[in-house]
Each structure stands twice: as structure tokens, then as C-alpha cells.
Chain A
Amino acid sequence: MEDKKLNQLLERYFAGESSLEEENQLRTLLQSRDLPEKWLPYQAIFQGLEQEAAITLPSDIEKEILAQIESETAPRIRQITWKPLLRYAAAVAVLLIAITWWTNSLSEPETTAGIDWSKYEPETPEEAAKVYRDAILKLSTALNNGANSAAKNVKRVETVGQFFE
């Protein structure tokens, strides 16, 4: 009877189907002193397992090991794929060119390709000639004023210079 029961319990135990209650039963049966000889190897196995389970690590060692495990990070696997990188580099280059142009263009005046100058022309060549005459006279006057002003300043510099001689 005991043999049959032990056999069933062992089968279930090694198949991983035994419940905790069944495992306790098995342990009790294998610990009995009048156990037939054929079951002794199983008794040795269970005693060994019991002894191993009873071993506990000192708490500080356990903590140390756990801390060491936690501090270790999984090795990083780096895979460099050049194609997307080149694409991004090209995009960045284009972006830089555009930004350079844009910042330069801020200091440049606006373009005026669309001006229709013809609507500002005098109707007759005679009128145009008078406008041109006035413009050239204004230019001449300004040039003369500039030249005279420069001449006066040179004289002033010469006069001041005499005091230093």
C-alpha cells in the first residue's frame, strides 16, 4: 500500500504535478525509519534537497550580491547604419546653407525686380532733358560744396598746424 502510494507521489513529483500537500506526504513517507531499501536513494535525494533549502546566506552577503547585480547594466549593442546618417548630414548641410543665406539676406536690401519704371518717365524728351539738367546741376552743386568744404578744412588744419611748428 505504502509502496503504491509512494510510487504515485514520486511520479507526480517528478512530473511537476504534485501539490504542496502531496509533497509533504512524500517527505513524511520517505523519512519513516522502516522504509524499504529500494526507496532509500529517493530518501537521500530529498534529504539533500531539504539540507540545501535550509542553507541561508548571511543577509549582508545577499545584499552585496544583489547590489552588484543591480549595478551591472546590460551591454549596449551599437549598430552604426551609415545611410540614414549621411541623409541627416546632407539635410543639416542644406539647412546651414539656408540659414547662412537667410542671415546674409537680412543685411541685404529687398529686391525690386518688379518695378515698372516706365510709369515714372516724363512724357516728352524736353521734359526729361530739364529733369536731367536739374539732376546734373544738383550733383555739380553738391560736388562743389563738398570740394569747397574739404578745401576749408585743409586750410583749418594748416592754420592749426602752424602752432605746432
Chain B
Amino acid sequence: MKKTKLIFWVFTLALLAPLLGYSQSQANVIDKYFQQYVDSEDFTVVYISGKMFEMFGKLDIDKESLSMEDDGDMEAIMDIAKEMKGLRILTTDKNPEKYYKEAKAKINTKEYEVLMTVRSSDGDNVEFLVQENKETKKIAELLLLVGGDEFVLLSFVGNLDMEKIVRLAKELDNN
């Protein structure tokens, strides 16, 4: 009888263990879309941490060092940098369409809202996805997915003001 009880509890714990692990992994929601790409040699990976973004403010980065022509654009870029907590970039020119489709399928649309999907005349597929911070009503993560000649996955993490980003985009377009 004791043996049966022991087997029962071992069995129960064995089944519950992955559930515990699952709930813990939920905290790291951004990373979960990237792992298999990060580990692949086909990808170029770049990461800029929140601390690095903090350092931008302390450094004397001028528009020349960033090859920017307009002071206003430079200021706008650095203003957005203040709201950044992390930037992850993944790119590859190997099987770009395959990776684009794969990434689209992997990203959970319950967590990320599709902001815009564009198919350009030169055949590039572009998709914007956002995850809103429900407390601040700002963007917690902005994803840019590009599939075409190259696969690009940009992940902007922070407390982002979408209006500022759109304003900067318009300014750059006018210039």
C-alpha cells in the first residue's frame, strides 16, 4: 500500500514539474522567440542592453559620429534611446523567406498585436508587432520582421512612445 502511494506521488510530481517550469519561463517572454536563431551560425546577432542605452546619455555622441545630417533627427533618436531597455537584432541572408514564415508562426499573436503588414513592390514582406504595457499604456516591445533578400528581426524593448517613433519616421522621410 505504501509503495502504491509513493508511486502515485512520484508520478504526480513528475507530471507537475514541467508545469512549474513553464510558469517560470513565462517571465522571459521576449527571449523565447529568439533562442534557436541565436544559437545558429547562419545568423548575425547583436544585442544592446539597457545599461548601454543609459551610457548614450552620458557620452558626447554627436551627429557627425553617427553620420546624421540633421540635429533634430539626432535629438529624436537619442530621445527614443532614453526609453529603450534593450535592442536585439537577428539577421541572415540564408533562407530568409523560410525564417520569416517560421518567425511569424512562432510569435504568439495573443501576446503581440500585429500593427502593420506590408508587402513591398520589390517582394519584401514586413510586419510590425507590438506588445503593450498595460500599466503605462506604452509599447513594451516593438518587433519588426522583414523577409525578402534578407531576414531581419528587430526587437525594441522598453517603455516606448509610438508617437515619437512615428514622428521621427516622418521627419526622416521628409529629409
Contact = CB atoms under 8 A, between A and B. Distances in A.
A9 to B, nearest CB: 62
A115 B87 contact: no
Q: How large is the interface on B (under 10, 10 to 19, 20 to 34, 35 or more residues)?
A: 35 or more
Given A130-B66, A135-B87, A138-B154, A144 B16 contact: no
B144 A142 contact: yes
Interface string A115-148: 1011011100110111111011111111111110
Contact of A143 (B36, B59, B128): B128
Interface residues of A, number: 46
B52 A111 contact: no
A97 B22 CA distance: 13
Interface in B41-65: 45-49, 52-53, 55-56, 59, 61, 65
A45 interface: no
Nearest to B154: A135
A75 interface: no
B15 A98 contact: yes
A1 to B, nearest CB: 73
Interface centre among B11, B118, B169 (most CB of A within 10 A): B169
A115 B12 contact: no
A102 B80 CA distance: 40
A110 interface: yes
A110 B40 CA distance: 15
A137 B172 CA distance: 8
Contacts of A131: 46, 48, 87, 89
Given A115-B34, A129-B65, A121 B106 contact: no
Contacts of B15: 94-95, 97-98
A143 B117 CA distance: 10
B89 A143 contact: no
Contacts of A136: 77, 80, 165, 168
A80 B173 CA distance: 78
Contacts of B38: 112, 115, 120
Given A111-B28, A112-B32, A115-B35, A142 B49 contact: no
